[in-house]
A and B are shown apart, each in its own frame.
Chain A
Amino acid sequence: MKLLLKAIFFILLISSALFSRSVDFKEGKYVEALDIFTYRDGNVSYTNQETTIHYKDGKTIVKRDNNLTVYKRNGELLTTIDLGKRVDVSLYFKLTKALFSKDFKSLEENFNLKEIEDKKYIFLPKDSIKNVIKDIKLTLNIDETPKEFTINFENGDIIKIETK
């Protein structure tokens, strides 16, 4: 019985890895306005159609099609956002997804990419995004998976995401 459960668990693990990617991360945020560092742990998983971010402190955010849905810890719906009306939020999601999945190509439209040293990259924004983001730094693991990335905002805020 135990063996069977193990086998099922193993199959589930492999299939979920095949159809989607799931990454645990630690999100650090420096809020310049308050001169405060905050941290929270989470997990992001995405397929072609859907991105789900689950924070250990409670909230779950699901992005499907053009909508962003936020749930409370108990699964209660908190809010739904039409991303067509919130280009900033849409861009943030596109950005984090691209960085997690190492999909540099989709960032080319908005950023110039430079390799600063081995496994270390810097993204410099083009056009009007310059007004919001100063730069993004990305470091890869030996196996080429993202190790951490840091988004430096023009207003002094910093978001740093480390994968676990």
Chain B
Amino acid sequence: MGILLKLRRSSPFLLYIFTTILAIYLFSPSHLTTNMLSIFKSDENIEKLKTVNSFESASTLFVTIKGFNQKNREKLLEIEKKLKKLPYIKETKLNTSKVEISDYLKKNYYLLSEFHPISIDNGSIENRVRELKNGLLNSFVYQPIDKNDPFGLFKFNIFTNSKMTKDGFLALGDYGYLLTAKLDSKVSDMESSQKIESQLSNMFKEDKEITLFSTLFFTAQNSKVIKNSVHNILYISFTLLILLFFVTLRDYKVLIANTVTLASSVFVALAFSTFIFEEVSMFTLAFGSAISSISVDYLFHNYFHGQYKRKGIDSSIFIAFLTTILGFLFLEFVEFPLISQLSVFAIISLGFSYFQFTFIYPYFEFTPKPNRLNISWFTNLPKIVPVNAVFIFSLIAISYSSFNIEFDYNLRNLDYKNVELQKKQKIIEDNLPQMTTLLIEGTSPNELIEKAHKLSLIASSVNSISNFAITQKEFKRRYKDIQKYDFKKLKTLLEVNAKLLKFKDGYFSNAYKFVDNIPSRYKADLVRLKEMGYEVLKRDSRFYTMATVKKGSIDKDKLLDGVYIINGLELIKKTTKTMFDSLLIYLFISLFVTIFIISIWVRERIVLALNFILFPTAIILLYLSIVNINIMHLFSIIIIIVAGIDYGIYMSKESSDKNHSKATIEAIFYSLLTSFSGFGILILSSIGAIHSIGIVITIGILSILFLVLFLKRVD
């Protein structure tokens, strides 16, 4: 009997240990990702962006100095020398007169060239040989004869972007000479980005004239700034929490227990989520932790109402917990990976916290310390605001805002505003030719080349794989044309006329010999093409390549099948819109169910309870109708709604007993303070995403506090 009792007493602890061990076993940290795209529904738009992001084509480093003069040229040449010694610099471009011709081009030169046959009759050949002689003697600059192809029948122009050169050097518009280098690192690879960025920035930090830029620097610098900012906020947050528990509550045991509970709940939820989902976004972890921290109200409600002394289960807390869990269950169906991940995370974490606060904490018999800070002056403030007035105001404010709110789809606004780097980016972007990026899709590399060639017929400014590769059909045509042409006769006439015009004997003996060696088969060498900057990528048994075209030179509606314009902002906008439709439907169902349960539980006090959801939402939406709403705001509103449900239930279940009412207000007050210390404090951050969370949570907390202090109670 005694053993059974002991086992019953210790069973919550055993369950706690078992769950934690299971979580450690299931935890798959590799499923955690910082990839922003992982939070979006995987539709065709996001798939296109994912494809573009998986191209290996290394990021480019731009180096420029304002002004075209010899000093700057020499400086850039020096920099190029230094860069070449670095292991992660793949290829540099500055001096355009120095062109490395790859083996692929040498081998396929005549096939890739345009073949312009001339008529083979003695008169015209004689004229052409005479022209050659004249050129040698009288041309204004030295003009040697191409002994392989003296008549220039094969024309191949490697230099496609001729406008980007000045004095034989690469030029950045009218700004200055430009040195570019390929960096051997992916933009998403944080560690190598940071290493490269710090080394390069240190190398040139003395010389303020040099503009050094790569999009990779954003990844590197911003993540460093964000990390520092988050660290600082964590310190402030932790100090505030310690102050809260030590100075005001004067109960360090509750602080320790609460910390252990929240940490273990977040970990268990994270572990299970990484087990269930292939990719768990860092945002899930961030928002999930915020939602978990809301569960601290279960603790405070029990604590201030002396529930841990009395034992048993507080029904209000149970209903608050149940309503929240049900709400999240419906959100599970939203076609928005972040939301469905978040609901799984929230259900597990809230469940585990509730379990600990309800079944484990009673063993510690936590009770409020008599010497804690007296906040009765605070709780006794006159309750003057009528419930119905707040309700009507909230409804009007929500409908007004929903007509005036605009969504900010620009994910860059969520990042840290790196002004210095943005300035450099502007110099480069404003002076570079304005290009549109295209993604070409096909079932084989040959189909890609075919489409790229078709594309170059629509827009002449296309820079794509078609510059250096031909299709099988085109190869057959060119091969046939060359084979058909009578090179033998051409050469005989050439040599006869050369002799007559006193060219040295045998000077043209090698002319057009290469025709015999033209390969009878052609295959676009994907490895070499990639080295030249034209990568072909295979993804899910489809092939892809990228192309650029002058902005505005291609009509969106006249694009070929399988050719897409890549504009990150537009694609994300399209997808976000469809995700929001789905979110709105389920949010509505979820709210409906929540309200239904609350109304059964609180009956005639439903308006009072709903005020705790509607009023904070209304105030937040009013604010957002001024500044535009982003994705982070939206998720933070969900957090405030979760908190509002709990507080609404507690407040409407207040009895007329003054002590009971005081305990409820105290519990909510400390819950709000904890939430503010944990997440409202994020308002201090200068980083868009973090600041957005902070501002919404702070406004929400202040609105709830306003209701707690001034709202008239219904009797």
Chain A positions within 8 Å of B, measured between CB atoms, are 29, 31-36, 38, 48, 55, 59, 61, 65-66, 68, 70, 82-85, 87, 89-94, 103, 105-106, 108-110, 127-129, 132, 153, 155, 157, 159
Contact = CB atoms under 8 A, between A and B. Distances in A.
A66 B165 contact: yes
Contacts of B377: none
Contact of B97 (A59, A94, A157, A159): A94
A153 B144 CA distance: 9
Contact of B162 (A61, A84, A106, A153): A84
B230 to A, nearest CB: 46
A85 B157 contact: yes
19 contacts: A34-B503, A34-B504, A35-B504, A38-B137, A61-B140, A65-B166, A66-B165, A82-B162, A83-B165, A85-B162, A87-B96, A90-B168, A103-B70, A109-B98, A127-B98, A128-B98, A132-B144, A155-B147, A157-B142
Contact of A34 (B77, B137, B162): B137
Contact of A84 (B69, B100, B140, B163): B163
Interface of B: 69-70, 73-74, 77, 95-101, 133, 136-137, 140-142, 144-145, 147, 157, 159, 162-168, 502-504, 507
Q: Find the residue from A32, A85, A106, A155 having the highest chain B CB count within 10 A.
A: A106
B502 A83 contact: no
A93 B168 CA distance: 10
A32 B142 CA distance: 13
A66 B77 CA distance: 19
Contacts of A110: 95, 97-98
B137 A36 contact: yes
Contacts of A55: 140
Nearest to A68: B141
Contact of A33 (B70, B141, B145, B166): B145
Given A33-B145, A34-B502, A109-B77, A94 B98 contact: no
Given A33-B504, A36-B137, A155 B167 contact: no
B73 A106 contact: yes
Contacts of B98: 109-110, 127-129
B165 A32 contact: no
A48 B69 contact: yes
B141 A92 contact: yes
Nearest to A97: B167
Nearest to B145: A33
Q: Find the residue from B136, B141, B507 having the highest chain A CB count within 10 A.
A: B141
A61 to B, nearest CB: 5
B167 A94 contact: yes
B166 A94 contact: no
Nearest to B80: A109
Given A33-B136, A38-B137, A66 B166 contact: yes
Nearest to A57: B138
